[in-house]
Chain A
């Protein structure tokens, strides 16, 4: 679990990584530094240490400089930050709605009729099969 100071640092980075745009909320507005980062860490506890190191590295830097440093010199930590922030962000229902993401389950309906005419051309076209014993 991140302490309040770490959450504040994470929020600064997250909002530069994912600003608001149109129907898409910013990372903070989506709740990434609040509860969603905790959910993401539950799903990927192996990234907790790297996230912690990243938030230590960036102390005293503004967000842009912090991200430059992480991506240039601490790639494992940068990958952890970006994977967790993006993964957490995509858990937000408002984000999924903005993305028009309608997830499965869906029925696996037969759609052969939609391409039968195209397939007829394939069947009629000669195909060169090598090495078959057609006897």
Chain B
């Protein structure tokens, strides 16, 4: 797909073509706004991905790794994560991180929006689950999510346009274990087609979701909302890396300065500007937009731009079984999910909880990759074939996403030395796992081991904090009603600058304990529709 031509004037500039930018572009374009989106990456076609090719096992560790620091594509920017136990993961291209996400399509729960009221921690959100529910429904049906109605862990019996994906032998074995324990499980909702849906074929079970779907079955935003947005008139400029936002004499956002892949600098003017660049990219742009009149960056009178970073520390608990469970097959994707231990139980010694996902373990190479610091003889020689044969197709993962409570010491700042390939200051993460979160992890890991044992696992292995798990970059420009302790209001509009909006996961008040993409997109759709509905009240740059 060719790059669309630049336009001089736009009603709305969107920075970032990921899931929130895509849904906003579609909603606003169809409502008559002239939209320009700047995206530093490019389009990818399903054939670009290697999941159906011999090189996948090797390429997923480098060219299609989820960390921009390891992948190092031209479109990527480096992130200093030396002060973080979690590596930030993302994709820079049309569709954003949905290109590489695993498609776990999980709504937050009602309690997630009321943690102060219910649990006495952090803050309540400025809206409720019930407010967001119609937007969850709309996005779910627009993009084609596969799932089964009736999960009793939710207060409503929300529907899916596609039947659930197969849970397979692996899912059935794990479900039998949960059944013995009397614990909740459900065939998991996935943003992956179980049958052909609009422009996407059915999943072909490559299991390569996290390195890009070679079948085009995954509901990544480049395949869902972007074609619709472009058809509605939105202009998407790829290879356009934004350095900073500019302001006019009234203090409004005038637009953005960006550099193209030929090294030429441009200015895109717009009446309104929406940042949709994820929880690292958005604060990076705001902080890089500092001027003498805004020395701490734009929209930062609260001092919270970049603060309260939440990443969801993730634990993997593997079980290896006595039979071939075809756990090399996708989707990956989740077969099951469990919310058994999601809600607060104060007798556990911590608040909030986590969501479990049963994942396959595709790829033979990852079964035999040596871990530095270990004796190579434990991996190779006579042990190589034993390890390979006993684990390949027989190993399941209970993955645990844990609620990460906000802490102002966890932050995105500008690195004083590191820059991207265009000389723009890079982001640095200062992040540590909080005490509540650590207790939560310990509890859930112990329960997940019990789940594997109940299912008859021969052996188990725990990775208590998976370093390469920092997909969920949240909270660094939080929403709220009080301008002194939040960056944007419930519609994503900056308290400081009325024509500036933040629509990505930066605006989360708390992290919830579930995969955030469904919530990010529902919030973005709600905010974009409100913006359109109140267009005559909006204050635009001239």
Contact = CB atoms under 8 A, between A and B. Distances in A.
| A and B are partners in one complex rather than unrelated chains | yes
Interface of A: 16-19, 21-22, 24, 39-40, 42-44, 46, 67-68, 71, 75, 78-79, 82-84, 86-87, 90-91, 99-101, 103-112, 114-115, 118-119, 121-123, 125, 127-134
Contacts of A125: 152, 182, 184
Given A86-B365, A127-B184, A133-B130, A46 B62 contact: yes
B59 A43 contact: yes
B365 A87 contact: yes
Contacts of B375: 71
Given A39-B54, A133-B128, A16 B381 contact: yes
Nearest to A130: B111
B58 A108 contact: no
Contacts of A134: 155
Most A CB within 10 A of own CB, among B55, B114, B163, B393: B55
Given A112-B164, A133-B130, A105 B52 contact: yes
Interface stretch (B84-92, B198-206, B302-310, B487-495): B198-206
Nearest to B146: A108
Classify the secondary structure of B's interface with A.
loop
A129 B324 contact: no
A90 B205 contact: no
Interface string B183-209: 011110000001100000011111100
B175 A104 contact: no
B25 to A, nearest CB: 30
Interface stretch (B382-390, B462-470, B477-485): B382-390
A78 B376 contact: yes
Given A16-B381, A111-B168, A118-B175, A105 B206 contact: yes
A79 B376 CA distance: 10
Nearest to A13: B380
Given A105-B215, A115-B187, A127-B153, A24 B182 contact: no
Nearest to A15: B381
Interface stretch (B259-267, B289-297, B328-336, B398-406): B328-336
Interface string B134-154: 000000000000001010111
A44 B153 contact: no
B121 interface: no
A132 B117 CA distance: 12
Nearest to A68: B376
Given A114-B172, A123-B150, A106 B388 contact: no
